[in-house]
C-alpha cells in the first residue's frame, strides 16, 4: 500500500506554508528531500527528511483547523515572509502558524481569510472554480454609464480580456464590482485602461463570507454556518469538470458548409443527409457554368462554358498557331489584325492583341 503524499501537501500539512507557496519554494531550489534538491511532483514517504532553507521540518500533529476573517488595512503586505516589513502574519499576531488565502494588494483594504488548512486554500484559489469576490472602488473622477458598461463587458489587460463582471454605480466616483477571476491588480489596471485612477479599494465579500461591521485592523473566527456553506460551495465547484463560467469575448466560428438541424450538424447522426445546394443529389462533380452573348439579331446564344467541352476544345487556330476570339459581327467570328506593339508571340500575344483591339 502506497502511503506517500505529494511533497507540497506534506509541507503544507506541517503548517509551514500553503501548497502554492510550497511549490514556489521547491521551484526556487529552497527545499531538500533526503539531502537532494526537490522537484515539483516529488512525493514524501514516512522516514524521508525534508529541509526548507536548511531547517528540518517534521510532520505536525493533527491540530484543530482555524479559519479567520481579517479586515486588512492599507499598507499591510499579504505575505508569510516574516522579514518583510508590515507583513500580514506579524500584523495579526496569531499564536498558531497560519497563512492567507489569496492576496490583497498592499494599497487595498478589506476582507481576507487566513487559515492553517492547506487543502481549503487550494480549492478556493483554483482558478477554474470562478468564486466571486466583491469590492467597493473609488476613482479620481466622475464615472458614467459608458464606464460601467465597459467595465462590465471586459477590459484588455495583461495580454487578455477580463471576464464579464457585475458593476453597479454607488455615487459620482464610487462603484461596486464583483469579479470571478483574480488577475494581478486587476481592478486598478482595468480603471487605468479606461483613463481612471483608483483612489480607494475595499474588498467586502469572498464567496459567502462578508466583511459586514468588522472594524478595520480587526479579525474574527468564521462562524459554523459560514464555514458549512463555504465547504459546501468548495466541494460542489471542485466536482465540476467544466464549471459554469461567464461567456468569453471570443467564440469559435462554425465550419463552412454545415447548418445546424435539430440540434445536430447536417450530415451527422441517424436520419440526416449531407447539406447540398438546394437539396440536389451530390454527384461529386462541380456544375458547369455557362454564359450567353447577344448577337446582332438580338438573340442570345451560348458562347462557352466554365469548363472546356468537346466543342470548345476544337478551337480554330490561325496559320501561325494563334487562337481566335469571337467578336460581335452578326454572330460571325473574324480574326483581328495583330498589333506589333503588343505582340509577344504565341497565344499570349494574340490574346493581348484581342484585348487591346477591344479597347480601341
For 251, other C-beta atoms within 10 Å of its C-beta total 7
Number of domains in the chain: 1
Whether the CB-CB separation of 106 and 201 falls below 8 Å is answered with no
- Interval 171-199: pLDDT, tens: 999 999 999 988 999 999 999 999 999 99
Asked if residue 263 belongs to a domain, the reply is no
Whether 106 is in a domain gets the answer no
The enclosing H or E element of 178 equals strand 174-179
- Rounded to 10 degrees, the C-alpha dihedral 89/90/95/100 comes to -10
- The pLDDT profile of the chain, 360 residues, written as one tens digit per residue, is 678 899 998 888 887 888 888 999 999 999 999 999 999 999 999 889 999 999 898 876 667 889 999 999 999 999 989 999 999 999 999 998 898 998 899 999 999 999 988 778 878 877 556 889 999 999 999 999 999 999 999 999 999 999 999 999 999 999 999 999 889 999 999 999 999 999 999 999 999 999 999 999 999 999 999 999 998 888 765 555 444 444 444 433 334 443 444 444 444 444 444 444 444 455 555 555 555 555 555 555 555 544 444 444 445 444 555 555 555 554 444 444 444 444 444 444 544 554 555 554
Give the residue ranges of DSSP H helices in the chain: 7-13, 19-27, 88-92, 118-125, 145-153, 186-193, 224-239, 310-313, 346-359
- Tell me, yes or no, whether 20 lies in a domain: yes
CA distances for 8 relative to 42, 99, 264, angstroms:
8, 15, 46
Task: Note if 224 is an active site residue.
Answer: no
Q: Where are the beta strands (DSSP E) in 196-299?
A: 198-206, 209-210, 219-221, 260-261, 264-265, 290-294
The answer as to whether 21 is a domain residue is yes
The CA-based dihedral angle spanning residues 226, 230, 231, 232, taken in that order and rounded to the nearest 10 degrees:
100
Instruction: Tell me whether residue 127 is in a domain.
Output: no
Domain annotation covers residue 190 = no
Of how many residues is the chain composed?
Answer: 360
Domain CATH code at residue 36: 3.10.290.10
34 domain-assigned: yes
Q: For residue 318, is it within any domain?
A: no
Domain range for 13 is: 5-57
The catalytic position among 13, 23, 105, 117 is 105
Q: How far apart are CA 78 and CA 88, in angstroms?
A: 5
67-to-122, 153, 221, 226, 339 alpha-carbon distances in Å: 14, 34, 6, 10, 95
Tell me if the pTM is above 0.75: no
Amino acid at each position: 500500500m502506497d502511503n506517500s503524499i505529494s511533497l507540497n501537501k506534506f509541507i503544507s500539512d506541517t503548517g509551514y506554508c500553503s501548497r502554492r507557496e510550497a511549490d514556489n519554494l521547491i521551484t526556487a531550489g529552497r527545499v531538500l528531500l533526503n539531502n537532494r534538491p526537490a522537484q515539483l511532483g516529488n512525493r514524501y514517504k514516512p522516514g524521508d527528511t525534508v529541509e526548507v532553507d536548511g531547517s528540518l521540518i517534521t510532520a505536525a500533529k493533527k491540530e484543530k483547523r482555524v479559519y479567520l476573517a481579517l479586515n486588512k488595512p492599507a499598507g499591510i503586505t499579504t505575505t508569510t515572509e516574516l522579514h518583510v516589513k508590515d507583513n500580514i502574519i506579524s500584523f495579526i499576531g496569531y499564536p498558531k502558524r497560519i497563512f492567507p488565502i489569496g492576496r490583497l494588494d498592499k494599497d487595498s483594504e478589506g476582507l481576507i481569510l487566513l487559515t492553517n488548512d492547506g487543502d481549503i486554500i487550494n480549492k478556493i484559489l483554483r482558478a477554474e472554480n470562478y468564486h466571486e469576490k466583491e469590492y467597493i472602488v473609488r476613482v479620481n473622477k466622475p464615472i458614467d454609464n459608458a464606464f460601467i458598461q465597459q467595465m462590465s463587458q471586459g477590459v484588455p489587460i495583461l495580454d487578455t480580456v477580463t471576464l464579464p463582471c457585475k458593476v453597479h454605480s454607488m455615487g459620482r466616483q464610487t462603484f461596486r464590482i464583483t469579479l470571478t477571476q483574480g488577475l494581478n491588480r486587476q481592478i486598478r489596471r482595468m480603471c487605468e485602461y479606461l483613463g481612471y485612477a483608483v483612489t480607494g479599494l475595499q474588498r467586502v465579500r469572498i464567496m459567502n463570507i462578508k466583511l459586514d461591521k468588522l472594524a478595520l485592523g480587526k479579525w474574527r473566527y468564521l462562524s459554523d454556518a459560514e464555514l458549512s456553506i463555504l465547504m459546501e460551495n468548495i466541494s460542489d465547484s471542485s466536482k465540476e469538470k467544466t464549471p459554469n463560467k461567464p461567456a468569453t469575448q471570443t467564440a469559435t466560428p462554425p465550419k463552412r458548409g454545415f447548418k445546424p438541424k435539430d440540434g445536430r450538424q447536417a450530415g451527422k447522426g441517424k436520419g440526416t443527409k449531407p447539406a447540398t445546394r438546394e437539396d440536389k443529389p451530390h454527384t461529386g462533380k462541380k456544375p458547369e457554368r455557362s454564359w450567353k452573348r447577344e448577337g446582332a439579331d438580338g438573340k442570345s446564344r451560348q458562347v462557352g462554358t466554365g469548363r472546356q467541352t468537346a466543342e470548345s476544345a476544337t478551337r480554330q487556330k490561325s496559320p501561325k498557331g494563334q487562337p481566335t476570339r469571337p467578336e460581335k459581327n452578326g454572330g460571325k467570328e473574324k480574326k483581328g489584325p495583330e498589333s506589333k506593339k503588343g505582340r509577344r508571340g504565341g497565344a499570349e500575344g494574340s490574346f493581348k492583341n484581342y484585348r487591346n483591339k477591344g479597347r480601341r
